[in-house]
Amino acid sequence: MKKDITLVILAAGMGSRFGGLKQIEPMGPNGEFIIDYSVHDAIKAGFNKIVFIIKKENYSLFKETIGKRVEKHIEVVYVFQELTYLPKGYSLPFDRVKPWGTAHALLCSKDYVHEPFAMINADDFYGSDAFIKAYDFLNKIDINSNDYGMIGYKVNNTLTENGSVKRGVCVVDHNDYLEKVTESKVEKIDGVIVASPLNGDNPFEVDKDTTVSMNFLLFTPTIFNYLEELFPKFLDNNKNNELISEYLIPEVLGELIIEKKATTKVIKTTANWYGVTYKEDTPTVKKAINDLILNGEYTDNLWN
């Protein structure tokens, strides 16, 4: 039996990364953004609600450019990631302007998500296979479960020819459960894929089929309790770095796995991931989408 499944889209950083929503480069033949294809794939897979997490000041522009296209096809909720959304007893540091990170963004949606859900980045193209597998996992999971999921990509399916990229290099056990994620700078050097951990550890070579996380994560509402519980600890540990520190979901998941409070099943996809890490990536993404249209995956006019 099908149940309510939500897609949470982290979009609060879109304006800053692209110099304002109007500056986002359309990727489809009728002005579609990458986010349009994610919503389309989610609807096709069976998701029945979208939660956009955005900056409050971008609400009108976001609703006019993206919301009006998708609101006719699925229930849409808008949530604001605000710097002042803090635990009781904590106040916003003077001069803090940087968002608190992905874990904080997700926590801001706590009052609006009461069902199993997937979480993605707004400006990443994940592929329809990933949404189908995500929905299948979430449709079977118990709503009170601490057994979460992650869509895992082959690292070679996520790279760009235009420079290094940040990827979460995964260690997965023989039962396909996540053991560890090493946030790394990944690039091809003379045909070899090399990961350089962001924590300063020594670089290491990875196989082209190595699993990486692209922030396509699958949760039940129990994750909100952990996010709420660990946020004060994060703030206390970063008092000396309070202007730029970020409360990040991979770090929360890593802590929960170490403490055996939750598990994360890695669901592998054959899909290619696309994104515009560099301006030079734009033609590649446009061509990939056009090829999918020619192959019948999408129509010329996505929302017609």
Instruction: Encode pLDDT of 206-225 as tens digits.
Output: 999 999 999 999 999 999 99
Indicate the DSSP class of residue 134.
Answer: H
CB atoms within 10 A of CB 195: 23
Helix (H) or strand (E) run with residue 26 in it: none
pLDDT of residue 50: 97
Domains for the chain: give ranges and CATH numbers.
6-152+212-294 (3.90.550.10)
Check pLDDT > 90 for residue 242: no
pTM of the model: 0.94
Check pLDDT > 90 for residue 65: no
Q: Which residue reads 């990170």 in tokens? A: 101
Tell me the pLDDT band of 198, cut-offs 50, 70 and 90: confident
> Considering the chain, what percentage of its residues have pLDDT values greater than 70?
96
Instruction: Encode pLDDT of 82-107 as tens digits.
Output: 999 999 999 998 888 888 999 999 99
Indicate the DSSP class of residue 194.
Answer: E
Indicate the DSSP class of residue 12.
Answer: T
Residue with more model confidence, 288 or 23: 288
Q: Are 238 and 231 in contact (CB under 8 A)?
A: no
**Distance between CA 283 and CA 272 in Å, rounded?**
16
